[in-house]
Chains A and B, each alone.
Chain A
Amino acid sequence: MTATTAELPAANAPAKPATVTLAKAVNTALADAMAADERVVVFGEDVGALGGVFRVTDGLTARFGENRCFDTPLAEASILGTAIGMAVYGYRPVVEMQFDAFAYPALEQVVSHLAKMRNRTRGAVGAPVVVRIPYGGGIGGVEHHSDSSETYFAHTPGLHVLTPATVADAYSMLRQAIDSPDPVIFFEPKRLYWSKAALELPVSTGPIGTAAVRREGRDATLVCYGQSVPVCLAAAEQAAREGVELEVLDLRSLVPLDEEAIVRSVGHTRRAIVVHEAAGFAGFGAELAARIAEKCFYQLEAPVARVTGLDIPYPPPKYEHWYLPDADRVLDAVDRALAA
């Protein structure tokens, strides 16, 4: 079969943007940041030869050498503390915590030092460290592999807490995190590591601290982040078939929080449903619900609803489908809000 001229790519046509996984987008962001700035170093458990248990650091040691991407002893507090020392010296460390629950040994370093360094030194010394944490459930992980630990960090003044939900955000937000003068806890929704989209580089998806409307709607706002974004989009899709138009607001950044975007959206839809995977009690959604109540009280047609994980230890693989907020649970909350 002969190709017609129309089918042949023109010699100078721009290459079609590659379709990549979210994991690859993170990997590309790391590589590009390392290429752009030799102060950027990557270290953590198994990030070298193996490329990380999720392969997010794949190829970095081969390309940049052992001094730029290296394996550490199994010692999370030491990984964090070493990153702090290196940042004070002038490096831009990006460290990987292997799984959400395995970042806990590093919590003291994060809370007592990383978050406070700038303040403790009256602005003389910042701690520009990025802590990457794959988080969340839905991957059939056994215990300690599926926590949503964002609230521990969001509760700590001095940290930025980001979590991308799209391929473009994964790339763009990580580059911004690495450029930030302040420490960033970068939560990577591990269930979305294998989600794919076209990634056209360079891409910049808006500054740290801005939310993104993923779908416009007029009847209620679903406020969400991370793995809950695709859940809310699926719920909105289903609702649309029944004539209910839901707005989906992806926060992207928990700290700083884009309160303007929340107020704008809820002010116009007059109903808010806050969705996240972490346990609900004293969770990040409680903060969101309180802020919405404070700022949008007179526009609200219904109480702010929360759809969250259950207040139990994250359950094992055979049970997690009962735990995870899904589109049906979101739509039940939407129904209640619309009936109010």
Chain B
Amino acid sequence: MTLLDLTASPRSASVTAGPSWDSQPLRYLDEHGAPVEGGLRPSAEILDPATLLRGYRALRFARAFDTEATNLVMQGRLAVYPSCRGQEACEVAAVQALRVEDWLLPTYRDSAALVLRGIPAVDALTLLRGTWHCGYDPKAWRTMPQCTPLATQGPHAVGLGLAAKLAGDPVVALCLFGDGSTSEGDFHEALNSAAVYQAPVVFLVQNNQYAISVPLDKQTHAAALADKAVGYGMPGVRVDGNDLIALGTVLDAAVRRAREGGGPTLVEAVTYRMQAHTNADDAARYRRSDEVDQWRRRDPIERLATYLTALGTLDAAVEGEIEEECAAYTARMREQFAEEPGYHPDEMFEHVYATPTPRLLEQRELVRAELGDATDAPGTGTEQSR
């Protein structure tokens, strides 16, 4: 197979034979970091060592951020944290496929994508810290607030894409989903509508095999989630979600296709959630540790490291530099989260409407009166969980 060809409409599936997908997702590197024979043929741009090193740095950075956030939640600094450990290649590839003017639609699992876009960690983790807002200006970062009601971000991506198309702007929306979310009605409605409008949207499903405790085979009877694209009349691609080079190749093609007016694409990235659903979950109740061990050997970061080391692009010195960068970043995170910011109940009333209704002003007075002279309002609890 040469460069991924998304211009051909959905690969045909014969009615009798069922889905046309091979069980093997598209790959460039095998599990040991060696190029797969007969695998994807990425562009020279993607295979450029400087590009690959940038990707590797981003992977390491995402892992460091995720590890620190996991520490912070265990220290009670965050209310809850859904880790993306094991899925970093998806986070990095999604962000790297976009230009600054493109839109990213993240879920609760995609905090790493937020910081990769450039949002300061302390802002990116505002919501998970337990406050009432997303912590950053979505328009400034072209990044929607992290979405928790499953799949409901899908139609927003369609709206952003359609808006760009109607305005004549070469802007793409990339929407992240989990595998479980593909069972939701909004997932279906979003993909169907995007295809009808030929909106410039890329739907990236991170198939990490679980929706909290429920494995994929209880979520769908389809052989592959990417197969669903056929029914919407858009290309569907199944790719190894732990192979940054393959992901970059597929997402670049899908984003380019969208930008050039070719319409939406569904990408299924096959990956694995290495941690429990969140810190509040106990994964031992529903999956075996040997399954987790098996996926540990497919780690996206080690895989690229092996390849880059073999190329001579990565050596101990570069590793050392990256290590230092990450350590400095996480040290800053720790400092920033050591202090709780002030919380004041007045804030709760400020942005419900552009101008507070008389009713809200009345209730604000009520809460103020309850507080009396106490200037320090009680902090928001950290006991809430999703």
B159 touches A121 (CB 8 A): no
Q: Please encode chain B, from 129 to 166, with 1 for each CB lying within 8 Å of some chain A CB and 0 for all others.
A: 00011110111100011000100101111111111101
A:67-113 near B, CB below 8 Å: 67, 72-73, 75, 77-78, 80-91, 93, 105, 108-109, 112-113
B185 touches A77 (CB 8 A): yes
List residues of chain B with CB within 8 A of the CB of A219: none
List residues of chain B with CB within 8 A of the CB of A125: 137-139
In the assembled complex, B218 has its CB within 8 A of some CB on chain A: no
List residues of chain A with CB within 8 A of the CB of B132: 119-120
- What is the total number of residues of chain A having a CB less than 8 Å from a CB of chain B? 46
Residue of B nearest to A209 (CB): B357
B353 touches A182 (CB 8 A): yes
List residues of chain B with CB within 8 A of the CB of A11: none
Shortest beta-carbon distance from A315 to chain B in Å: 29
List residues of chain B with CB within 8 A of the CB of A78: 155, 158, 186, 189-190, 192-193
List residues of chain B with CB within 8 A of the CB of A16: none
A73 touches B358 (CB 8 A): no
In the assembled complex, B359 has its CB within 8 A of some CB on chain A: yes
In the assembled complex, A181 has its CB within 8 A of some CB on chain B: yes
B163 touches A85 (CB 8 A): yes
Whole-angstrom CA separation of A112 from B155 in the bound complex:
13
In the assembled complex, B167 has its CB within 8 A of some CB on chain A: yes
In the assembled complex, B282 has its CB within 8 A of some CB on chain A: no
List residues of chain A with CB within 8 A of the CB of B214: none
B185 touches A88 (CB 8 A): no
Q: Select one of B145, B159, B359 contacting A87, CB under 8 A.
A: B159
Residue of B nearest to A72 (CB): B193
List residues of chain B with CB within 8 A of the CB of A122: 133-135, 350-351
Shortest beta-carbon distance from A35 to chain B in Å: 17
In the assembled complex, A217 has its CB within 8 A of some CB on chain B: no
Whole-angstrom CA separation of A45 from B167 in the bound complex:
22
B166 touches A85 (CB 8 A): no
B162 touches A124 (CB 8 A): no
List residues of chain B with CB within 8 A of the CB of A259: 358-359
List residues of chain B with CB within 8 A of the CB of A158: 352-353
List residues of chain B with CB within 8 A of the CB of A108: 149, 152, 186
A81 touches B186 (CB 8 A): yes
B189 touches A77 (CB 8 A): yes
Q: Select one of A83, A121, A160, A182 contacting B145, CB under 8 A.
A: A121
Q: Select one of A77, A93, A126 contacting B186, CB under 8 A.
A: A77
In the assembled complex, A273 has its CB within 8 A of some CB on chain B: no
Residue of A nearest to B149 (CB): A112
> How many B residues touch the partner, as a band?
35 or more
List residues of chain A with CB within 8 A of the CB of B359: 256-257, 259
B152 touches A120 (CB 8 A): no
Q: Select one of B154, B163, B352 contacting A89, CB under 8 A.
A: B163
Whole-angstrom CA separation of A112 from B184 in the bound complex:
15
Residue of A nearest to B357 (CB): A256
B354 touches A182 (CB 8 A): yes
Residue of A nearest to B158 (CB): A82
B:20-36 near A, CB below 8 Å: none
In the assembled complex, B196 has its CB within 8 A of some CB on chain A: yes
Whole-angstrom CA separation of A255 from B163 in the bound complex:
29
List residues of chain A with CB within 8 A of the CB of B357: 209, 255-257
Q: Select one of A86, A109, A256 contacting B160, CB under 8 A.
A: A86
Whole-angstrom CA separation of A157 from B189 in the bound complex:
26
Whole-angstrom CA separation of A243 from B47 in the bound complex:
90
In the assembled complex, A118 has its CB within 8 A of some CB on chain B: yes
In the assembled complex, A41 has its CB within 8 A of some CB on chain B: yes
List residues of chain B with CB within 8 A of the CB of A90: 163, 167
- Tell which of B132, B164, B166 has the most Cβ of chain A within 10 Å: B166
A86 touches B354 (CB 8 A): no
In the assembled complex, A123 has its CB within 8 A of some CB on chain B: yes
Whole-angstrom CA separation of A125 from B354 in the bound complex:
10
B149 touches A85 (CB 8 A): no
Q: Please encode chain A, from 290 to 317, with 1 for each CB lying within 8 Å of some chain B CB and 0 for all others.
A: 0000000000000000000000000000
Closest 3 CB pairs of A and B: A85-B159, A81-B155, A89-B163
Offer 20 A-B interface pairs, CB within 8 angstroms, sorted by A.
A81-B189, A81-B190, A84-B155, A85-B156, A86-B160, A88-B139, A89-B159, A105-B185, A109-B155, A109-B186, A112-B149, A120-B132, A121-B138, A121-B351, A122-B133, A123-B351, A124-B138, A125-B139, A160-B353, A257-B359
Q: A81-B155, A257-B357 are known; give 15 further A-B pairs, CB within 8 A.
A: A73-B196, A77-B189, A78-B186, A81-B159, A82-B158, A82-B193, A84-B156, A90-B167, A109-B186, A118-B354, A122-B133, A123-B351, A124-B140, A158-B352, A257-B359
